[in-house]
């Protein structure tokens, strides 16, 4: 399973005064099992790119291969693509509509023409995968839940399609710190325990530093960096030039280093900083 994007260009409202080149000749490859973060300032093309990966938007030019199958070809079946690539939109809980959680999660699988037994099993599995107890929650209304739990139900609805690749657009946006950490933990679990390829669109450099193995940085419809978090967060100047920042703790570490503290170049999370500082304190 891999995603291969080759010279993808997307132009909104072409040949009109509002024409906008949202993606400009983008190429990239993502392999099975990767955990990729996609970052970039608002308007840099992230949403446009991810909507191509499950066939929601059509390329103006270029090709996209999912599992060696060209999905930009005429006649490519969208249901086949969506079985493989699941997309969780921003604030997905706004799209919950059924009277019970189980029915809501069953909506996608029901459209795949599966039998009732298989649908129920998928709902149960999806709920377990996002950390919701099936028996406790299945008959509850999604509207009785907290913000973080509602979002889990919405994610479970996509997970129930059992995609190999899960794309999440700002999955922690608008949640309190506890809700953010819980959702992030669940996403890490989907990757580590269930082997899903994850593409995480995020504005939070802290989240990205915590979980991603690879970071793709977009600006003006192009990919400007595609590296490990360590190599991307070294590029403070480049990131700041395109309206991004590095994790806050990186600035603190930089300041401490300038004051003579012996700290490494690979500290991007609070827990890494804590460990490194405690080591120095113990040594002294």
Phi first, then psi, for residue 107 (nearest 5°) are -55, -50
Nearer to ligand ADP, 20 or 274 (CB): 20
Spatial separation of the C-alpha atoms in residues 223 and 108, rounded to whole Å: 32
Q: How far is the CB of 244 from ligand ADP (least distance, A)?
A: 11
How many residues does this entry show for the chain? 284
- Residue 3's SS3 state is strand
Nearer to ligand ADP, 12 or 134 (CB): 12
Phi first, then psi, for residue 102 (nearest 5°) are -60, -40
Q: Residues interacting with ligand ADP, by CB under 6 A?
A: 12-13, 20, 22, 40, 42-48
Nearer to ligand ADP, 25 or 121 (CB): 25
How many angstroms from the chain centroid is the CA of residue 45?
14
| Residues pairing with 222 in the sheet | 219
Nearer to ligand ADP, 39 or 276 (CB): 39
Nearer to ligand ADP, 45 or 109 (CB): 45
Residues 6+ apart with CB under 8 A from 46: 38, 39, 40, 169, 201, 218
Nearer to ligand ADP, 40 or 92 (CB): 40
Nearer to ligand ADP, 20 or 178 (CB): 20
Spatial separation of the C-alpha atoms in residues 134 and 124, rounded to whole Å: 6
Query: What ranges in the chain are assigned the alpha helix state H?
Result: 46-53, 78-84, 101-110, 116-129, 134-137, 147-159, 177-192, 205-211, 229-233, 236-241, 248-258, 270-283
Nearer to ligand ADP, 47 or 54 (CB): 47
Spatial separation of the C-alpha atoms in residues 45 and 11, rounded to whole Å: 11
Spatial separation of the C-alpha atoms in residues 43 and 58, rounded to whole Å: 18
Q: How far is the CB of 221 from ligand ADP (least distance, A)?
A: 7
Using an 8 Å Cβ cutoff, are 203 and 170 in contact?
yes
Q: How far is the CB of 17 from ligand ADP (least distance, A)?
A: 12
Instruction: Identify the burial level of 224 via C-beta atoms within 10 angstroms of its C-beta, where 0-12 means exposed, 13-18 middle and 19 or more buried.
Output: middle
């Amino acid at each position: 399973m891999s995603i291969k994007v080759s010279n993808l260009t997307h132009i909104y409202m072409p040949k009109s005064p509002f024409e906008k080149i949202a993606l400009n000749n983008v190429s990239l490859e993502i392999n099975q099992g990767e955990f990729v973060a996609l970052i970039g300032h608002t308007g840099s093309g992230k949403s446009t790119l991810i909507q191509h990966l499950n066939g929601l938007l059509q390329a103006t030019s270029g090709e996209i291969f999912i599992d060696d199958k060209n999905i930009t070809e005429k006649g490519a079946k969208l249901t086949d693509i969506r079985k493989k690539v699941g997309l969780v939109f921003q604030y997905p809980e706004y799209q919950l509509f059924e009277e019970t959680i189980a029915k809501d999660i069953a909506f996608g699988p029901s459209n795949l023409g599966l039998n009732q037994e298989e649908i129920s099993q998928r709902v149960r599995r999806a709920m377990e995968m996002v950390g919701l107890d099936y028996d406790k929650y299945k008959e509850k209304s999604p509207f009785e839940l907290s913000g973080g739990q509602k979002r889990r139900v919405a994610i479970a609805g996509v997970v129930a399609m059992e995609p190999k690749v899960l794309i999440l657009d700002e999955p922690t946006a608008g949640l309190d710190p506890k809700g953010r950490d819980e959702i992030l933990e669940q996403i890490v679990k989907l990757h580590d325990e269930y082997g899903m390829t994850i593409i995480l669109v995020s504005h939070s450099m802290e989240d990205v530093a915590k979980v991603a193995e690879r970071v793709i940085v977009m600006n003006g419809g192009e990919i400007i960096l595609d590296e490990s978090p360590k190599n991307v967060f070294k590029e403070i100047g480049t990131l700041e030039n395109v309206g991004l920042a590095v994790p806050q703790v990186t600035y603190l570490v930089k300041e401490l280093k300038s004051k003579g503290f012996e700290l490494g170049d690979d500290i991007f999370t609070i827990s890494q900083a804590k460990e490194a500082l405690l080591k120095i304190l113990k040594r002294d």
